[in-house]
């Protein structure tokens, strides 16, 4: 690959790493657009124009960096520009196709030529839209807007929990299916943690269900904030959440959850004059083999959670 990384994540004066970008900008409501291409001048031009839409735009000119940016930034839309003399655009589409389909991330191809075979190949490889140069920047924006609306709708309909806006169990099932082959092929271990709020019934009873809902929303937000972009946060149901840590062993997972547990127990919620805090218990399991169904690991994690509850709550159990 001949691509070089352009000055991408510069914000104001300072460099912002992908992770810190996610912790601040680009997370939550703001759509994240990933621009990929080998013409850095053109990329920067697009980045500037798209940036005026209030989107968080990342431009990557180094082909081998695209995948990690993709995982770290969780883009809502990917715009790939390449000249058809080079194969990179098609290769990239092919490489990402499965992941993109799974997460309903739209891809838009910007091509130097408008040949029928280029258009058809782009669509065949999973592109959602195609624009040939020269094109009107306003048209690009409108088309991206349309893709973003579509993704938002699909996310809301299918994979996100309505109350907390973290993923739902349906999403977890999908992710796990993809993961299983990774675990077998690359012998990587993943960790799964179940987090269950302690005595949550009492929160509802004392402060009302609206306050309970607020705690759930805040807890979900807190979990997103305290985990890395590649980690998955799922509301499994009620006051129970799941965290999935890729490429993480059980010792590291324990440290992470323990840190989150301590920090969360110090968060204060306010309801009128009254303030209260909330804790959770957690059961953690290391997913060490890919040939077991998700339910198997969930059950193990649940056993650990039960032990944590039995031992007095507000603790982590392996
Ligand atoms: P434990 O420490 O054993 O987990 O006790 P708990 O009270 O948290 O557990 P229990 O399973 O008895 O109660 C869970 C409560 O969570 C009951 C239910 O009303 C509440 N809950 C579930 N979903 C929601 C929700 O969406 N909003 C609100 N406000 N409460 C919810
Ligand atoms: Mg319970
Ligand atoms: Mg509970
Ligand atoms: Mg529960």
Q: Each residue of 126-185: pLDDT tens digit? A: 999 999 999 999 999 999 999 999 988 887 777 888 788 899 988 999 889 888 888 888
* 48 is a catalytic site residue: no
The answer, yes or no, to whether residue 56 has pLDDT greater than 60, is yes
| Mean pLDDT to the nearest integer, 84-93 | 72
Output the average pLDDT for the chain: 85
Q: How far apart are CA 48 and CA 58, in angstroms?
A: 10
Residue 196 Cα, ligand 2 centroid: separation in angstroms? Answer: 7
Point out the ligand 1 atom lying closest to the alpha carbon of residue 202: 7
> For the segment 239-248, what is each residue's pLDDT rounded down to a tens digit?
999 999 999 9
The model's confidence at residue 63, banded by pLDDT at 50, 70 and 90, is confident
> For the segment 13-51, what is each residue's pLDDT rounded down to a tens digit?
222 333 333 333 334 568 999 999 888 999 999 999 999
Q: How far apart are CA 163 and CA 216, in angstroms?
A: 8
Residue 161 Cβ inside 6 Å of ligand 1? The answer reads no
SS3 177: helix
Task: Give the residue, by CA position, lying nearest to ligand 1 atom 22.
Answer: 238
Q: Find the catalytic residue in 139, 226, 239, 286.
A: 239
Query: Phi and psi at residue 2, in whole multiples of 5°?
Result: -110, 0
Point out the ligand 1 atom lying closest to the alpha carbon of residue 209: 29
In the chain, DSSP assigns E strands to: 10-11, 14-15, 32-37, 56-60, 77-82, 106-111, 129-132, 190-197, 232-237, 240-245, 269-271, 274-276, 280-287, 316-317
Query: Phi and psi at residue 289, in whole multiples of 5°?
Result: -140, 145
Report the pLDDT value the prediction gives residue 80, as an integer from 0 to 100: 92
Could you give the ipTM of this predicted complex? 0.97
SS3 57: strand
Residue 258 Cβ inside 6 Å of ligand 1? The answer reads no
Residue 256 Cα, ligand 4 centroid: separation in angstroms? Answer: 21
| Mean pLDDT to the nearest integer, 215-223 | 94
Report the pLDDT value the prediction gives residue 71, as an integer from 0 to 100: 64
Point out the ligand 1 atom lying closest to the alpha carbon of residue 197: 8
């Amino acid at each position: 690959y001949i691509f070089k990384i352009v000055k991408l994540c510069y914000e104001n004066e300072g460099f912002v790493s992908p992770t810190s970008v996610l912790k601040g900008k680009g997370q939550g409501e703001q759509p994240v657009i990933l621009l990929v291409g080998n013409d850095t001048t053109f990329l920067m031009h697009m980045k500037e124009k798209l940036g005026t839409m209030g989107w968080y735009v990342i431009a990557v000119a180094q082909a081998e960096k695209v995948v990690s940016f993709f995982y770290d930034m969780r883009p809502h839309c990917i715009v790939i520009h390449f000249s058809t003399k080079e194969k990179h655009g098609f290769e990239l589409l092919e490489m990402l196709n499965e992941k993109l389909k799974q997460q309903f991330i739209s891809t838009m191809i910007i091509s130097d030529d408008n040949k029928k075979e280029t258009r058809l190949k782009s669509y065949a490889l999973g592109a959602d839209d195609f624009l040939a140069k020269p094109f009107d920047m306003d048209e690009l924006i409108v088309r991206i807007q349309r893709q973003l609306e579509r993704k938002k709708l699909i996310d809301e309909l299918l994979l996100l929990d309505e109350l907390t806006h973290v993923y739902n169990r349906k999403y977890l099932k999908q992710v796990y299916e993809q993961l299983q082959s990774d675990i077998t092929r690359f012998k990587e271990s993943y960790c799964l943690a179940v987090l269950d709020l302690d005595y949550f019934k009492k929160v509802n009873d004392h402060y009302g269900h609206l306050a309970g809902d607020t705690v759930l929303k805040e807890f979900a937000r807190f979990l997103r904030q305290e985990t890395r972009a590649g980690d998955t946060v799922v509301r499994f149901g009620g006051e129970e959440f799941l965290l999935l840590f890729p490429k993480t062993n059980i010792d590291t997972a324990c440290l992470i959850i323990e840190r989150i547990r301590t920090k969360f127990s110090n968060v204060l919620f306010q309801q009128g004059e009254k303030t209260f805090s909330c804790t959770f218990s957690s059961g953690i399991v290391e997913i060490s083999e890919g040939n077991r169904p998700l339910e198997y690991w969930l059950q193990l994690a649940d056993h650990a959670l039960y032990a944590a509850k039995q031992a007095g709550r507000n603790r982590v159990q392996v």
